[in-house]
């Protein structure tokens, strides 16, 4: 039976992006307040309801159970450079908040390898820290094997390349063919079986994002089971959502890489005046209270209300919600 109402309240937010990112000019989502604090639920609109319900599970866990005890007080982070012009890339590096690692987007649809080489070279001209690249599965196997060594040289050595190809089999083949370490992202968070990455020796490290994987504790279990180093990354969230990523990074037994959590700067307007942005290249472990949520139009409110009910119905039909919320719902 379809839910007519939800057992939790929510607030919708929407903001313009300062730079087009993941094909988006705007980002929106919902915030939930529970006894443990605020959380975010913001699956992208191209995700279906079953996949989106993991994001709701993560938000409910955060709001009603809270986060594990941290083992570190701050998290080193990278600055993220979208697939933009060399000039804009350098401007982003100039505002990096002390980050000593840069993640540069490559293999953007409609752009060329020369565009990627120019962007990386421009960043290297003004930045002496580590450079990693993220292709978001934008290459096929042959293009990845051809492109990665060229980009490695342009960067003066890449820390790693994230998700160069879409399938686990191709990921394993690329890893064998190139000298640059391989990180798995979509092959973890959007896979029916994320453990195939380890079974096929397809990656040197994995990227974990709290919302897509169903919560901080689910990420911790996955990381322990797979046994590869972890980079915690953003799903392009407000400071409330970034707080969950910080909680995961703070709870990992080992944290060997800077995390991709410094993405709030891509929001023109955040949901709080006390934004989670890096200082000296790190984010602090602290709670966030939203205090600057701007009103949105009725159509967006209605779209999110319908979507949340659909996600809730799917979650209630497939999971024990009481286990997710510690018995609160």
- Could you list the active site residues? 105, 209
CB 17 within 8 A of CB 27: yes
CB 194 within 8 A of CB 187: yes
Q: How far apart are alpha carbons 60 and 208 in whole angstroms?
A: 18
The verdict on whether residue 87 carries a ligand-binding annotation is no
Q: How far is CA 51 from the centre of its chain?
A: 15
The verdict on whether residue 185 carries a ligand-binding annotation is yes
Q: What are phi and psi of 27, to 5 degrees?
A: -130, 140
Which of 218, 207, 229, 44 is CA-nearest to residue 134?
Answer: 207
Q: How far apart are alpha carbons 235 and 101 in whole angstroms?
A: 18
Q: How far apart are alpha carbons 164 and 166 in whole angstroms?
A: 7
DSSP 232-268: EB--S--HHHHHHHHHHHHHSS---S-EEEE-GGGBS
Q: What are phi and psi of 217, to 5 degrees?
A: -70, -35
CA distances from 94 to 21, 88, 266 (A): 18, 10, 14
Q: How far apart are alpha carbons 257 and 283 in whole angstroms?
A: 14
Q: How far apart are alpha carbons 56 and 211 in whole angstroms?
A: 8
The verdict on whether residue 289 carries a ligand-binding annotation is no
Q: How far apart are alpha carbons 259 and 276 in whole angstroms?
A: 13
**What beta strand segments (E) does 163-209 contain?**
182-184, 205-208
**Pseudo-torsion of CA 45, 223, 230, 151, nearest 10°?**
-70
Q: Which residues contribute to the annotated binding site for Mg(2+)? A: 134, 162, 185
Q: Which residues contribute to the annotated binding site? A: 134, 162, 185
């Amino acid at each position: 039976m379809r839910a007519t109402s939800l057992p939790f309240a929510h607030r919708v937010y929407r903001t313009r992006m300062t730079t087009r990112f993941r094909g988006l000019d705007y980002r929106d989502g919902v915030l939930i307040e529970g006894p443990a604090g605020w959380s975010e639920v913001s699956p992208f609109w191209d995700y279906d309801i079953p996949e989106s319900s993991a994001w709701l599970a993560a938000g409910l866990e955060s709001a009603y159970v809270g986060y594990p005890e941290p083992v570190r007080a701050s998290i080193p982070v990278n600055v993220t450079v979208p697939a933009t012009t060399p000039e804009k890339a350098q401007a982003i590096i100039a505002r990096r908040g002390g980050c000593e690692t840069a993640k540069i987007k490559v293999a953007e649809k409609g752009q060329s390898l020369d565009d990627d080489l120019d962007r990386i070279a421009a960043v290297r001209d003004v930045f002496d820290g580590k450079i990693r690249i993220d292709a978001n599965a934008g290459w096929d196997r042959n293009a990845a094997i051809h492109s990665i060594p060229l980009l490695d040289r342009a960067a003066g050595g890449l820390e790693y390349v994230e998700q160069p190809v879409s399938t686990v089999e191709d990921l394993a083949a690329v890893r064998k063919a190139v000298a640059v370490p391989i990180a798995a992202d979509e092959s973890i968070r959007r896979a029916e079986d994320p453990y195939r990455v380890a079974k096929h020796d397809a990656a040197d490290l994995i990227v974990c994002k709290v919302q897509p994987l169903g919560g901080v504790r689910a990420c911790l279990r996955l990381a322990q089971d797979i046994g590869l180093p972890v980079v915690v990354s953003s799903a392009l969230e407000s400071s409330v959502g970034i707080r969950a990523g910080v909680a995961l990074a703070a709870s990992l037994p080992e944290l060997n890489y800077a995390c991709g959590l410094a993405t709030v700067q891509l929001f023109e307007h955040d949901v709080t005046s006390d934004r989670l942005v890096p200082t000296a290249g790190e984010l602090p472990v602290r709670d966030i209270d939203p205090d600057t949520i701007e009103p949105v139009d009725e159509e967006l409110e209605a779209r999110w209300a319908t979507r949340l009910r659909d996600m809730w119905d799917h979650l209630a039909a497939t999971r024990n919600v009481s286990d997710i919320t510690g018995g609160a719902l």
